[in-house]
Amino acid sequence: MGTWVGVKKQIGNWYEIDTAGNSGFISKNDVSSDMGLKVFFIDVGQGDAILIEIGKIRILIDGGEDSSLKNYLTKSHFQYLLSKEKKLHFDYVIITHFDSDHYSGLTDIINDSRFTFGTIYHNGIARFTSDKKIRPKKYNTDLGETIKTGKIQYLKTSFDNLNTLGNLKSNHGLQNNFYSFVKALETAQSQGRLVDTLRLTNKVSFPIINIPNHKFKIEVLGPVLINNNFVWFKDSSKTRNGHSVVLKLIYDDVSILFCGDMNELSEQHLLNNYKGNTVIFESDVIKASHHGSPDFGIDFLNAVKPKAAVISSGDNESYSHPSADRLGCLGKYSVSIKPVIFATELARSINRSGKIQFGMINLRSNGKDIYLAQMKEVATDVNIWDSYLVNMNTGTTKAIKLIKAKKSIKTNKSSRKSKP
Ligand SMILES: [Zn+2]
């Protein structure tokens, strides 16, 4: 579902087609002009990078830490378009929070003139140097100034637009990675390749995206600010992770919740804010928060009632993501009889020649059902996907077989009408 094909000719009930990878035949019933919803949970190791394609709109949620996302976009997903010297436009980029494993991989992409951007959204919490002598005196933390009202501590410093960082940039009061990122934004904007950088909170509506014949909506459920301040969650790390941008994507009858790196304290903060309306969190698929860390609560999972879960995590890190108890609870608190949990780390493998096969998790939906799949470690000629159908009515999942288009006897590499 969701793969572009170029129809070369019709033979009875079959089309002879071209795709990015193969030529072959496909039944007429399996071809539609409606591309549906496509979500790619890209394997960037320890980190998040999610590409969403709906109609002609491209949305990125986070960009990982290293060059993995850029490699995937330029050498795989959009390689065909780039080889035709086309610019790659992303309508929206959402950075859930400014931890390196969510945005540092974007710096190189934003600096690359082959890419153009609409709006880059963020949660408004900037990163300052830990050197107290360099950052402004009133900034008592590396996230800025905190204040106490009664017993509650708040982070007061935040930015609606990263252009307003002003003097802090020239004074190098910013943390190094964040400084490089802000410079990249400045360059892209001066070159006319970026429209704006704005803050997303639960008080801001995501732009309306019109998809013909479908209901499509992105709701912003977090971060939740109190009088324009952020609640301080114990320490700097818990505060910046906890106030991740939290998004619920709705496409007709199906929904997906993207949780950034939320933790148990911030889950409770959100549940309190939506008291009496926690049904708002109910979603068919959850992108589990914080790479499946053990810092999560049962109340939030009970509110989400997921049918399936996706975890984005990497090997060779010191955190043991995903944690054994998170995996157990994602299954236990799912409303499916046979819950499915996908993880980029579990999908990644090394083939017989010692080459890494990256563990991308694929989601496709027609607005009624959701298909989740990862590539098999060893593919047979006709079946390369390990796939599951998330049934909206029963909440159960079952394995389905996706059959690769049969190769035509004679492939004519004429002009390709399709896009990968
Ligand atoms: Zn993270």
What's the 123 CA to ligand 1 centre distance in angstroms?
Answer: 14
The verdict on residue 188 lying in a domain is: yes
What is the CA(65)–ligand 1 centre distance, in A? 9
Looking at residue 411, what is its pLDDT?
Answer: 36
Give residues whose Cβ lies within 5 Å of ion ligand 1: 101, 261
Entry pTM: 0.91
Q: Looking at the domain assignment, is residue 117 inside a domain?
A: yes
Q: How far is the CA of 66 from the centre of ligand 1 (A)?
A: 13
Measured in angstroms, how far is the CA atom of residue 177 from the centroid of ligand 1? 15
Q: What is the pLDDT of residue 414?
A: 35
Please check whether residue 198 lies inside any domain of the structure.
yes
CA–CA dist 393, 66 (Å, integer)? 40
232 belongs to a structural domain: yes
At a CB cut-off of 8 Å and minimum separation 6, what does 341 contact? Answer: 308, 309, 310, 311, 327, 330, 331
Kindly give the distance from the C-alpha atom of residue 349 to the centroid of ligand 1, in angstroms, as a whole number: 22
Distance from the alpha carbon of residue 272 to the mean position of ligand 1, in angstroms: 24
CA distance 119 to 69: 19
Let me know if residue 416 belongs to a domain: no
Q: Report how far ligand 1's centroid is from the alpha carbon of 13 (Å).
A: 48
Would residue 419 count as lying in a domain? no
**Which residues constitute the domain of residue 63?**
6-407
How many domains would you assign to the chain? Answer: 1
**Position 414 in a domain:** no
The answer as to whether 160 is a domain residue is yes
Residue 144: Cβ within 10 Å count: 22
Chain centroid offset of residue 76 CA: 18
CA of 270 to the centre of ligand 1 (A): 19
**38 CA distance to ligand 1 middle (Å):** 23
Quickly tell me which residue has 């959100």 as its tokens.
270
Mean pLDDT per 10-residue segment, the chain (420 residues)? 75 82 77 88 96 96 97 94 93 98 98 98 94 88 95 94 71 85 93 96 94 96 96 97 98 97 98 97 97 96 97 82 95 93 92 86 95 84 83 74 48 34
C-alpha of residue 28 to centroid of ligand 1, in Å: 43
Q: Give the Å distance between the CA of 99 and the centre of ligand 1.
A: 6
Q: What are phi and psi of 116, to 5 degrees?
A: -130, 155
d(CA 122, CA 131): 24
What is the Å distance from ligand 1's center to 292 Cα? 10
**What is the per-residue pLDDT across 87-126, written as a single tens digit (0 to 9) for each?**
999 999 999 999 999 999 999 999 999 999 999 999 999 9
Q: What separation in angstroms does the CA of 47 have from each of 62, 182, 233, 294, 313?
A: 8, 20, 21, 16, 6
CATH number of the domain where residue 188 is located:
3.60.15.10
